[in-house]
Structure 1
Amino acid sequence: MPTDRKIAVVLKGYPRLSETFIAQELLGLEKAGHDLVLIALRRPTDGKRHPVHDEIRADVHYLPEYLHEEPLRVLKALVRSLPKAGFWQALGPFSKDLARDPTRNRFRRFGQALVLASEWPGDPGWLHAHFIHTPASVTAYASMIAGTPWTCSAHAKDIWTSPDWELSEKLARARWTVTCTRTGYEHLQSLTSQKARVHLSYHGLDLQRFPHFEGAHSIRDGSDRAEPVRIVSVGRAVGKKGYDVLLRALALLPPELHWRFEHIGAGELTGKLKILGDELGISDRIAWKGALDQTDVLAHYRTSDIFALACRVTADGDRDGLPNVLVEASSQRLACVSTAISGVPELLIDGENGRVVPSEDPQALSLALEELIRNPARRAQLGAAAEQRVRTQFDHHSSIDQLTKLFANEWKLA
């Protein structure tokens, strides 16, 4: 049960279009009675906001993104922190971390923690980090300096691109950690002896924002040039999303099939992907929509025939957890095609409620797409099964209830 203890939630950036699952959780916690203040390490770079961002009441406090940009603020924080016993207690772990990670980023994390502990916006009684890499580092140092307990939500990239020594030590320092896929959960549990402090908690979906689609998806089958099958994907144009694989799969489709692909999202690889589309001879069938808000995304789910996402593990270990867009698309009875990476098979079971193919295999992905393009009845069958699974097992209220109980149990012990 919520108490009057305020929670400071430390985020890498806020607000972010690509992190609707975090915004949804923040709003859910507020509706459950929790008092929040948001601490962001970066200012927003997106030109748009989702409606959910405007519903969150919590104040937002921004730390210096780069210490050299606000030197007086950092210096004041250092001076205020020097008399605190917690500052000297934090120096030991920071020095140990710095010896293993001698980077400017490590200094920046400690400097941001000094500012956080010095300014202490909202006078919180608890710290909670979203992502176990940079935000958790800042949170852990601030926790030691201020003497305030902290917890953590771990997701995907932050788990798989962090060294095991750092994950292990953060798991030991945090009062508990939740993560959103079974693969991530099992990996984190393998790195700590205190396994009961690691919890699996699927984000789920706010089904009020994604209500049941009363309409019907089309019966287009790719045979009519004037009515091409509509394939959509939502995601940042970054390596782990596998859009180069998806484009190659589309190029392998039989020439007599008529289809159109729409990509929603921004990202650093957009330019290269457009060039690849030209090279593959399919650019005239592709629309690059850029970043859209949640309302527009929902409309695209409802007017499309297939959702496709070719998740992969990149060379540095980065990967998706369970992409929220797959849950969103499934909630609208949209047949989904994806790859057997991380938490995707925890939502989609190949042949039962979607198609799941091996990663890095354009041929397999193309064959799955061809099957669904040609067979609208099959799309309808898989889409209906996917929606049923989402509405029975991926309601975000379960995650909010779980987090509320975890906070309540700790506050009883504090």
Structure 2
Amino acid sequence: MPVKGKRIAVVLKGYPRLSETFIAQELLALERCGLPLEIWSLRRPTDRARHPMHAAIRAPAAYLPEYLHEAPLRVLRGLAAALTRPRLPALLALFARDLWRDPTASRLRRLGQALVLARELPAEVAHIHVHFLHTPASVARYAALLTRRRWSFSAHAKDIWTTPAWELTEKLRDAAWGVTCTRDGLARLESLAPGRTRLAYHGLDLARFPAPPPPREPRDGTDPDAPLRLVCVGRLVAKKGHDDLIDALAALPPDLHWRLELIGDGELRGALEARIRERDLSKRVAFRGALAQPAVIAAMRASDLFVLPTKPAPGGDRDGLPNVLMEAASQALPILATAFAGTPEFITDGTHGILVAPGDPAALAAALARLAADPALRLRLGAAARVRLVEDFSEAAAVALIAEALRASAGLPPPVVATEPELAACAS
């Protein structure tokens, strides 16, 4: 159980979110380690469903005003409180430098949110930890400076690759410490501020997942009554590569029978639906929308192949190591993905899955045809991915690293492990 007294504030862009299972599982694991947390979110939830993990997390959640005009009294109270703080001149000097380089309404909003956070944080909060180095870290950094607290970060993907170098560098130097979840991202951050960030793969808590299903039927797409079952899980945004997947499927031989379930929602849904109609694939592709984790796992268990062709988005956004790859591996589901970002850190091509070049629908189509025709290869790849997950991507090591750093930063006493779940989550 969490200790009484000092607490840790965790700042998030939005909470809870279906697409951020890695954050929910980390929060739950940290609580099992005995860390007393409270959640501060820049946005209210927009997803209709929630993962079971969200119900298990005990930390209270508070919401900052997403738009300052929606809560003028909270903002004014935050400003009035800031006027009494000795560190206000230092904050205004920092903010002025940031605003000169980034003269946007978003920058002003982050200052307002930080003033609210600084005023409303309980005195018991001894440390601030933030997920993502872009806008959430700006709020955490400003509030920490104003209130004389230390702050730390978990960097992931978009925040690493779309935040300007000057901003990343300054945040890295100001933070007490930080972690990131791929070697790809770590190399980027190390190039800007060496020695400030450590590697902590998310991994999975396999206790939350069922054992893999019995060996799947050896479907090869030759029987129209037993089509190959494909599944793709990811937000419908450019970096997930759904457009390449649709083009690859359209290029498959007409006598190869398959069905695809697309799980996820996002800004590109309309465009992707139109693309599917243009290629006459509507009867073969089903949009399932955003689903809670149990429904995602059920879909994986019923599928023959998991496909995720991630690639760089036009604005520079990119994935880290998608957790859905590890979730697929938990069910011994063979994986077809792209050799991009953090994916090759988990999957070795030809051993744990098949990797193709990002942004290459022809290569993706060839790999799909190859895997469709070879159920034995799929079986071998799925089994190897499961072994890779169990042996090298346990959640425990990352949780132990983060929990130890948070405990030290917040001045919390050593852990007292009371239960088996806590022991498993905190084991190093």
TM-score, normalised to structure 1's length?
Answer: 0.97
Corresponding residue number in structure 1 for 2:43 = 42
8 A Cα contact 1:61 1:121, kept in partner: no
The superposition leaves residues 182-232 of structure 1 with CA deviations (integer Å, 9 ceiling, x where unpaired) of 01001100101xx33210110011111123214222211101000000000
How is 1:219-230 mapped onto 2 (pairs within 5 angstroms)?
Answer: 219-230=218-229
Corresponding residue number in structure 2 for 1:188 = 189
- Paired residue secondary structure (1:190): helix
What CA distance in whole angstroms lies between the structure 2 residues aligned with 1:392 and 1:6? 33
Relative to structure 1, the CA distance from residue 315 to residue 135 in structure 2 (aligned partners, 3 Å threshold; closer, same or farther) is same
8 A Cα contact 2:213 2:331, kept in partner: no
What CA distance in whole angstroms lies between the structure 2 residues aligned with 1:76 and 1:403? 34
What CA distance in whole angstroms lies between the structure 1 residues aligned with 2:115 and 2:68? 11
Deviation of 1:321 (Å): 0.3
Relative to structure 1, the CA distance from residue 50 to residue 412 in structure 2 (aligned partners, 3 Å threshold; closer, same or farther) is closer
What CA distance in whole angstroms lies between the structure 2 residues aligned with 1:316 and 1:149? 32
What CA distance in whole angstroms lies between the structure 1 residues aligned with 2:349 and 2:88? 52
What CA distance in whole angstroms lies between the structure 2 residues aligned with 1:283 and 1:206? 36
What CA distance in whole angstroms lies between the structure 1 residues aligned with 2:24 and 2:389? 19
Runs (4+) of structure 1 exceeding 2 A deviation are 2-5, 407-414
Corresponding residue number in structure 2 for 1:356 = 355
8 A Cα contact 2:14 2:41, kept in partner: yes
Relative to structure 1, the CA distance from residue 103 to residue 210 in structure 2 (aligned partners, 3 Å threshold; closer, same or farther) is same
Relative to structure 1, the CA distance from residue 412 to residue 5 in structure 2 (aligned partners, 3 Å threshold; closer, same or farther) is closer
The superposition leaves residues 347-392 of structure 1 with CA deviations (integer Å, 9 ceiling, x where unpaired) of 1111111000001100100111111111111100000000000011
Corresponding residue number in structure 1 for 2:263 = 264
Letter in 2 for 1:314: A
How is 1:10-409 mapped onto 2 (pairs within 5 angstroms)?
Answer: 10-121=11-122, 123-192=124-193, 195-409=194-408
What CA distance in whole angstroms lies between the structure 2 residues aligned with 1:308 and 1:189? 31
- Paired residue secondary structure (1:387): helix
8 A Cα contact 1:37 1:121, kept in partner: no
Relative to structure 1, the CA distance from residue 313 to residue 83 in structure 2 (aligned partners, 3 Å threshold; closer, same or farther) is same
Name which of structure 1's ranges 404-413 and 272-281 shifts more when overlaid on structure 2. Answer: 404-413
Name which of structure 1's ranges 78-87 and 167-176 shifts more when overlaid on structure 2. Answer: 78-87
Root-mean-square deviation (Å): 1.5
8 A Cα contact 1:37 1:122, kept in partner: no
What CA distance in whole angstroms lies between the structure 2 residues aligned with 1:274 and 1:296? 22
Deviation of 1:413 (Å): 11
What CA distance in whole angstroms lies between the structure 2 residues aligned with 1:121 and 1:412? 16
What CA distance in whole angstroms lies between the structure 1 residues aligned with 2:286 and 2:412? 54
Name which of structure 1's ranges 106-115 and 196-205 shifts more when overlaid on structure 2. Answer: 196-205
8 A Cα contact 2:150 2:409, kept in partner: no
The superposition leaves residues 233-272 of structure 1 with CA deviations (integer Å, 9 ceiling, x where unpaired) of 1011000001000000111111111100000111111111
What CA distance in whole angstroms lies between the structure 2 residues aligned with 1:121 and 1:134? 22
Consecutive unaligned residues of structure 2, counting only runs of 5 or more, are 414-428
What CA distance in whole angstroms lies between the structure 2 residues aligned with 1:389 and 1:238? 28
8 A Cα contact 2:126 2:411, kept in partner: no
8 A Cα contact 2:35 2:407, kept in partner: no
Deviation of 1:341 (Å): 1.2
What CA distance in whole angstroms lies between the structure 1 residues aligned with 2:412 and 2:123? 23
Relative to structure 1, the CA distance from residue 89 to residue 96 in structure 2 (aligned partners, 3 Å threshold; closer, same or farther) is same
Percent sequence identity over aligned pairs: 52
Consecutive unaligned residues of structure 1, counting only runs of 5 or more, are none
Deviation of 1:394 (Å): 1.0
- Paired residue secondary structure (2:28): helix
Relative to structure 1, the CA distance from residue 370 to residue 200 in structure 2 (aligned partners, 3 Å threshold; closer, same or farther) is same
Letter in 2 for 1:164: A
8 A Cα contact 1:18 1:236, kept in partner: yes
The superposition leaves residues 293-344 of structure 1 with CA deviations (integer Å, 9 ceiling, x where unpaired) of 1111111111100000110101211000000001100111100001111100
May I ask how many residue pairs the two structures share in their alignment?
412
The superposition leaves residues 148-194 of structure 1 with CA deviations (integer Å, 9 ceiling, x where unpaired) of 100000000011000000000000000011000101001100101xx
- Paired residue secondary structure (1:341): coil
What CA distance in whole angstroms lies between the structure 2 residues aligned with 1:142 and 1:88? 13
What CA distance in whole angstroms lies between the structure 1 residues aligned with 2:213 and 2:48? 32
The superposition leaves residues 80-130 of structure 1 with CA deviations (integer Å, 9 ceiling, x where unpaired) of 110101222211111100000000100100100000001114731100010
What CA distance in whole angstroms lies between the structure 1 residues aligned with 2:309 and 2:381? 18
What CA distance in whole angstroms lies between the structure 1 residues aligned with 2:323 and 2:412? 34
Deviation of 1:408 (Å): 3.5
